[in-house]
Each structure stands twice: as C-alpha cells, then as structure tokens.
Amino acid sequence: MIPLLLTQALVPYDIAARWDCGRGFADSYAWHQRVWDTFPGRGDAPRDFLTRLDDRADGFRLLILSAHPPVRPDWCPEPNWQTKTIPESFLSHPRYEFSLVANPARKVRSNTKGELLNNSRRVAIVHREDQEVDGKPQAGLLSWLIRQGGQHGFSLPQPGRVSTIPRPRRYFLKKNQPGLHAATEFQGLLQVTDPTAFRHAFTGGIGSARAFGFGMLCLAPSK
C-alpha cells in the first residue's frame, strides 16, 4: 500500500501579498493553482491530493495530503516546509478527535414533483439544526455530517457536542467566471464503523469542492 504524506507549508502574509505568479494568492482557485505547482510534471494526471488552508495570526498554514511528495515552491521559505510520512497504523484507531473544513450544500429541486433536473443548483447549508422552510424539511449541518459519516465509514457518538464553526465565504474566479463556496468547520469526536470506507474518506476527502481546499479530515487518535 502506497504510504501517505502530510506536508505543512507556512506562508507569511508578506510573501503571499507580493508573490507574482499568475493571480498569486488572490483567492481559493489561485491557491489551488499554486498547490499544483508543487507537483511538477504531472501533466493531465487526475488530482490525487487534498489540501486545507488555515488563516492564522502569523500567516497561512497550508496542509497537503498526498501519495506523491510535493516539491517545495519558491513561495514557501525552506524552514517553513515540512513533509512527513503518515504511519499505516495511524488509521487503525477506533476513535478520533477530528476537524473538518467542508462545503455543505444541498441540491435545489426544480419542479413541483421534487425531481432533480439538469438545471438543479447547489445551495449552501448554513443552519446547524434541521428546520422547515415553506412547509418543507431542510437538513441542517449536523444531519449533513451524519449522512456523510454513514457514507464514509464513521459515526458521531456525541453529535450534540460537535461544533459547527462558520468560516468566511470563499469567493474565487475561474476562467473569468466568479464563484462562491460557503465554508463550515466541524470539530468533535468520531467513531470508525467501516475501516475501509473510512480510509477512502481520509485519502479522498468528504463533500464537494475538494479541489478548492475542502474535505480533508484532520485527525488525532482518541480513547
């Protein structure tokens, strides 16, 4: 089994502000392009890595989870770049404290029969609990995460204690077309129910917009 690598890049604000390469670090799509720069020679190979970007007091922290080692780019100082191998045993624990920055959304049905049509659109989920709108039930953030857990091999033993933290909306420009992602950070405790599915979730991510820095499970084993 190919070992997984976790890379941390700490990018000071002054470097991000002055870096001149395409659109620099203007938005989440620009960050996506900068991360691709760390995997030279990939051509049209499919994306096989996950990222997470945190805005901290001293700059940006970029995490890259990948099967292939990324190459340190010029925009990250050498002392701020670190890659380590994740031991295979890391994914053998039954419980984990987790943090997940995701883009929870639901599809809006386009006709009175409740059918999903080709022009259905995705709408961000921003309310924590389930609610009713115009007489129709709408799942909240917790229900979204519980459903994702059922698909990805984990459950939430203490759902009421899971934090749902709003993050700033992420605007971006891709091929001159504007876009927007709504971000929520989930923090809490999870129980592994299907180790194989859970590993796929860890390596492949959860939810939509994974190419834009969403969906990476950050884990710490828990008793």
Bridge partners (DSSP) of residue 164 are 186
Among 202, 221, 212, residue whose Cα is nearest residue 105: 212
Considering the domain architecture, whether residues 185 and 107 belong to the same structural domain is answered as yes
Considering the domain architecture, whether residues 77 and 105 belong to the same structural domain is answered as no
Task: Look at residue 177 in the predicted model and tell me its pLDDT.
Answer: 72
Least confident of 16-20, 23-27, 107-111, 153-157: 107-111
Considering 86, 117, 133, which residue would you say is the last residue of a domain? Answer: 86
Considering the domain architecture, whether residues 42 and 108 belong to the same structural domain is answered as no
pLDDT (tens digit, 9 = 90+) per residue, 104-152? 988 776 555 555 555 556 788 988 998 887 777 888 999 999 999 999 9
Considering 31, 52, 86, which residue would you say is the last residue of a domain? Answer: 86
Considering the domain architecture, whether residues 129 and 149 belong to the same structural domain is answered as yes
For 140, the domain range is 95-221
Cβ pair 74, 186 in contact under 8 A: no
Locate 31 and state its tokens: 């960050």
Quick count: other Cβ atoms within 10 Å of Cβ 181? 21
pLDDT higher than threshold 80 for residue 170: no
Considering the domain architecture, whether residues 79 and 47 belong to the same structural domain is answered as yes
Considering 68, 86, 104, which residue would you say is the last residue of a domain? Answer: 86
| Global pTM value | 0.87
Distance CA 66, CA 52 (A): 12
Q: What is the mean pLDDT of the chain?
A: 88
pLDDT higher than threshold 70 for residue 173: no
Structural domains counted in the chain: 2
Task: Look at residue 134 in the predicted model and tell me its pLDDT.
Answer: 73
CATH number of the domain to which 39 belongs: 3.30.70.1200
Considering the domain architecture, whether residues 120 and 143 belong to the same structural domain is answered as yes
Considering the domain architecture, whether residues 105 and 72 belong to the same structural domain is answered as no
Confidence band of 1 (pLDDT split at 50, 70, 90): low
pLDDT higher than threshold 70 for residue 221: yes
Confidence band of 167 (pLDDT split at 50, 70, 90): confident
More confident residue, 37 or 82: 82
pLDDT higher than threshold 90 for residue 14: no
Considering the domain architecture, whether residues 19 and 126 belong to the same structural domain is answered as no
Considering the domain architecture, whether residues 77 and 107 belong to the same structural domain is answered as no
Name the pairing type of β-strands 105-108 and 163-174.
unpaired
Considering the domain architecture, whether residues 130 and 79 belong to the same structural domain is answered as no
Considering the domain architecture, whether residues 132 and 31 belong to the same structural domain is answered as no
More confident residue, 114 or 215: 215
Cβ within 8 Å of residue 117, ≥6 positions away = 109, 110, 111
CATH number of the domain to which 115 belongs: 3.30.70.1210
